[in-house]
Structure 1
């Protein structure tokens, strides 16, 4: 019996599932037609496409990126391993250099020559790796798996009208170019779909329009055209920037180097030479500091993990709450890794013996006075103690007497962070990083298996993912050094933490106030430097809007798509659609499933791909005919193009 599948999106997640489909089909002889629909190049998709500004980097080292399994991957069925981004590039370096030279892509040619294991490559170069991996997966597909690509969008999916074509509950799919297909199952893997502006963005836009101001709403920085658009972000103009995450890092790059500025090495570090086309960026956020710098050394021995945040500690049954049940164990896991590494590598900064400390630490509950007393006795220098609150909120409770003092405090914080994350004398930070990765995978597994309560599933994609990103997924250190040089040159001004930006109807401007500063900053331009919130009911994606209109998808309070443990879509009435699946960062509890994997860690990315591939192949047993046969689809009325109305949670 033939099976037909359709993937909405051709990015790394579809690549990963397709690889596992091919592996299982080669072992079972399954006969499968696979349709992949995406207007962007296969493998890279929209987010990682090659035609982005060459100054925009990937956020992981070349040696830490893979989209193909490796020897550590524990998967069902055959495992076909593949190289990391760096291993691929190193093997093909000469061919890449020749190819870029022949096509006049001088920036990429120079980049390839300089890439080492620790290099953060451009997204334009990373896109070539993804494209190669896609071709590798397609080439390795067995003859029984046939691939059909469609460079367009899916606009609707409905259950096939009974009686038109035999086969129960197959899926009728309409493409934007007019093609109509009937398949056995559909996988939604669009990556980061656009959303229509929410109430906050609409209010900001309306205020800007009333007063002739400029407003840049949340978006994918590479798509906003800010390098060339000097009318919106004018040279020399004061601009308020809300947000200091990775979208902010991209924004700064495009508005400085992207507009002709350059950096040189001076006796005291990097020096920025403005082009004169830069605006002046007044930046703040909830924390008031950028994400922590990437660690640039390798820990020679990872801490024993997990020790405290284990399945045994959680029990086999019952619903769990992230903050009440999981967080004390997570915090103790992080602290345990910190002190294990401190005693192992820096015993001169401790008192007593490591085994004795470890035994006593293991028996004390997190947050107890007895544990605090133990740490005070064993670790004399407070700077060597694990202070999770101070790590997360370094400006909390601090007050500066002037805007300049606040600016200098943030500047010094960033400089100290970059220095520390490059210094093995603080290898405890690397141990905490590994512990956080371990906890992240465990939390994701609990969310996927249905063990977490609804409130916690929302927080997995919100507070918990934000904390992980801040501590473990920050920018390359070079980007933070550039930020310091921009601050020294007067192009960037730091506002502090808990920044509140408000419209001033009388003054006809926006004002920004920080919890750390007495200053009030006014500007006629505001940039929301963050990605759009993945609100399914407010999606600009026509397929998601039509499914929402009919109640065929549901969302949690954070706007994420609800799926069951098999990744099947859940309707608003709680029923599960047996032939529709969802993957990606906009799926509830699934934000942990990154677009790539770190090698040699038995990454969850591959295990998820493997499970989904097996679920899709099981659809073959529920009936199917004539894979991918074009038909005339009679669909329910399409959703209105007007924005969906919904109640926003309190902010």
Structure 2
């Protein structure tokens, strides 16, 4: 039987599944026609496309990025390994530099010549790695696999009504395809404005104000849009995550400003085209700086967040059952590294501390007493609350004092996370990465209740991103320079951004001071919230309208343990799969994997590839309808 498969989206997820599908098809002799549909070039997709400003960086080191399996990957069937981003750039440095010189891309030429393991490369340069990986996977397709790429969009997929197992796909350019299996891998679809955004736009229009709704920063054209964000004008900015970092770069260096290197760090020289950015968020501080050194010895993980330590009931609550073990895992890694690498800053025998720590429950007063006894310096203790919310409970009489406090926090964070004397932070990073994979596995296996699966994609993912997926330290040093130059002002935590009908302006108030800040422009510097029913993607809208997909409270797609779409009635479609950041509880939504860790990214790709090839053995009586078999849902069948 010759299968026909449709991939909606041509980014790194499709690349990864196609690689595993190719490996299995080569081993089994499967005959497959593959159609990949995306208006953007195959391999990189939209987010990693080439036509981005080289000022926009990836937020992982070149040595920490791979899109193809490596020697650590334990997968079913043959494994065809590939290089990390850094290894690939090393091998192709000269050829790339010559190409960029010929095509007048001088910024990329300079960049590729200076890349080393610790470099955070531009997304435009990362695009070349993805394009190469795509070409390599395509070149390695076995004779039985035929690939067609369509530079358009899929607008609908319908079950065949003629008594077959097939599905009918409609493309925006009028092409139609009859297929056996579908993979939704659109990445980050656009959303239609929700009630909050509509109200904000209407308020801005009434008062002649500026408003920038959540969006993908590289698509907004903010470097050149001086009408919306005028030079020298006060602008309120809601959000201090990675979208904020991109915004900051585009409105400063992107408008001609420059940084001068000095012994005390970068100093910013204005171009005169920058607005003045007043920034705040829930935490009131940017994501934690990336750690720039390597541990000499990784902690043993997992130690406390294990199956043996989890409650035996089949369905768990993330906060009730899992979180105490996560917190203890992080603290355990912190103290293991402190006693191992910095014993002079402790006062107890390491074995005694470890024995007492291992038997204590997280949150017990005895645990706090043990730490106080064994670790004299507060800076050496693991304070999860302070790590997460550094401004909680702090008050200042003026907004200027809040600005100074946040600036001091950012400076201390960058300094500490680049200092091996605090290698405990790197151990916590490793533990958090281990916990993230474990929690994702629990969600995927149906071990978490529905509310907890929503929290995996909510506060838990937010905490992980804040601690472990922050910007390069260089970007935070530049943030400090911009604050010193008067281009950035920090507002503090729990900032309430609101329209002022009487004053005809936007206002911002922090929980850290009594001051209010007003401005004529508000930028919502956050990525669009994943919400399937509000998606601007026509395929998702059509499937949702017919009840052929479902979403959690957080707005993400529900899939079963095989990544198959779950319908609104709880049944599972046997021939439709979904992967990527808009899929609930997946945990491996990133476009890349970290090498050397047997990344779950590749195992998920492998599972989907095997599920697709297995469609050739499925027999369905009558029109292809949702399976009524019990579904081991990601959210756990109840």
Q: Secondary structure at the match of 2:59?
A: coil
Q: Secondary structure at the match of 1:271?
A: strand
Partner of 2:560: 564
1:25 maps to 2:25: yes
Question: What are the within-5 Å matches in structure 2 for residues 564-643 of structure 1?
Answer: 564-622=560-618
Whole-angstrom CA distance in 2 between matches of 1:592 and 1:419: 30
Whole-angstrom CA distance in 1 between matches of 2:297 and 2:264: 34
Which of 343, 346, 351 aligns to 2:342? It is 346
Partner of 2:624: none
Partner of 1:71: 71
Are the equivalent residues in 1 in contact too, given 2:567–2:573 (CA < 8 A)?
A: yes
Q: Secondary structure at the match of 1:190?
A: coil
Whole-angstrom CA distance in 2 between matches of 1:108 and 1:285: 33
Whole-angstrom CA distance in 1 between matches of 2:95 and 2:293: 30
Partner of 1:102: 102
Whole-angstrom CA distance in 2 between matches of 1:262 and 1:506: 39
Q: Secondary structure at the match of 1:313?
A: coil
Give per-residue Cα distances to partners, 1:90-110, cap 9 Å, x unaligned. Answer: 001111011111111111111
- Paired residues, number: 620
Which of 314, 318, 322 aligns to 2:314? It is 318
How much has 1:317 moved relative to structure 2?
Answer: 5.1
Q: Secondary structure at the match of 1:415?
A: helix
Q: Structure 2: any 5+ residue segments left out of the alignment?
A: 621-638
Question: What are the within-5 Å matches in structure 2 for residues 483-522 of structure 1?
Answer: 483-522=479-518
Whole-angstrom CA distance in 1 between matches of 2:126 and 2:386: 35
Which of 150, 160, 165 aligns to 1:169? It is 165
Partner of 1:87: 87
How much has 1:623 moved relative to structure 2?
Answer: 5.6
Question: What are the within-5 Å matches in structure 2 for residues 377-416 of structure 1?
Answer: 377-416=373-412
Question: What are the within-5 Å matches in structure 2 for residues 49-64 of structure 1?
Answer: 49-64=49-64
How much has 1:381 moved relative to structure 2?
Answer: 1.1
Are the equivalent residues in 2 in contact too, given 1:349–1:380 (CA < 8 A)?
A: yes
Partner of 1:229: 225
Are the equivalent residues in 2 in contact too, given 1:296–1:422 (CA < 8 A)?
A: yes
Whole-angstrom CA distance in 2 between matches of 1:381 and 1:294: 24
Which of 342, 353, 357 aligns to 2:353? It is 357
Partner of 1:474: 470
Q: Secondary structure at the match of 1:495?
A: strand
Question: What are the within-5 Å matches in structure 2 for residues 153-168 of structure 1?
Answer: 153-162=153-162, 168=164
- 34-43 vs 307-316, which moves further: 307-316
Question: What are the within-5 Å matches in structure 2 for residues 321-340 of structure 1?
Answer: 321-340=317-336
Whole-angstrom CA distance in 1 between matches of 2:442 and 2:430: 19
Whole-angstrom CA distance in 1 between matches of 2:237 and 2:172: 36
Partner of 1:634: none
How much has 1:596 moved relative to structure 2?
Answer: 0.2
Partner of 2:428: 432
Whole-angstrom CA distance in 1 between matches of 2:56 and 2:479: 15
Are the equivalent residues in 2 in contact too, given 1:6–1:185 (CA < 8 A)?
A: yes
How much has 1:267 moved relative to structure 2?
Answer: 3.8
Partner of 1:450: 446
1:279 maps to 2:275: yes
How much has 1:245 moved relative to structure 2?
Answer: 0.2
Are the equivalent residues in 2 in contact too, given 1:364–1:370 (CA < 8 A)?
A: yes
Q: Secondary structure at the match of 2:282?
A: coil
Partner of 1:288: 284
Whole-angstrom CA distance in 1 between matches of 2:165 and 2:87: 45
Whole-angstrom CA distance in 2 between matches of 1:267 and 1:350: 34
Are the equivalent residues in 1 in contact too, given 2:436–2:587 (CA < 8 A)?
A: no
Report the TM-score, using the length of structure 2 for normalisation: 0.96
Report the TM-score, using the length of structure 1 for normalisation: 0.94
Runs of 4+ in 1 over 3 A off after TM superposition: none
Are the equivalent residues in 2 in contact too, given 1:171–1:185 (CA < 8 A)?
A: yes
Q: Residues 316, 603 of structure 1: CA spacing in aligned structure 2 closer, same or farther, 3 A cutoff?
A: farther
How much has 1:591 moved relative to structure 2?
Answer: 4.6
How much has 1:622 moved relative to structure 2?
Answer: 2.2
How much has 1:268 moved relative to structure 2?
Answer: 2.4
Partner of 1:370: 366
Q: Secondary structure at the match of 1:447?
A: helix
Whole-angstrom CA distance in 2 between matches of 1:111 and 1:573: 52
- 488-497 vs 376-385, which moves further: 376-385
Q: Structure 1: any 5+ residue segments left out of the alignment?
A: 625-651
Are the equivalent residues in 1 in contact too, given 2:437–2:587 (CA < 8 A)?
A: no
Q: Secondary structure at the match of 2:260?
A: strand
Whole-angstrom CA distance in 2 between matches of 1:425 and 1:418: 13
Q: Secondary structure at the match of 1:293?
A: coil
Partner of 2:113: 113
Are the equivalent residues in 2 in contact too, given 1:593–1:604 (CA < 8 A)?
A: no
Are the equivalent residues in 2 in contact too, given 1:465–1:592 (CA < 8 A)?
A: no
RMSD of aligned Cα (Å)? 0.9
- 131-140 vs 265-274, which moves further: 265-274
Partner of 1:636: none
Give per-residue Cα distances to partners, 1:63-105, cap 9 Å, x unaligned. Answer: 0000000000000000000000000000011110111111111
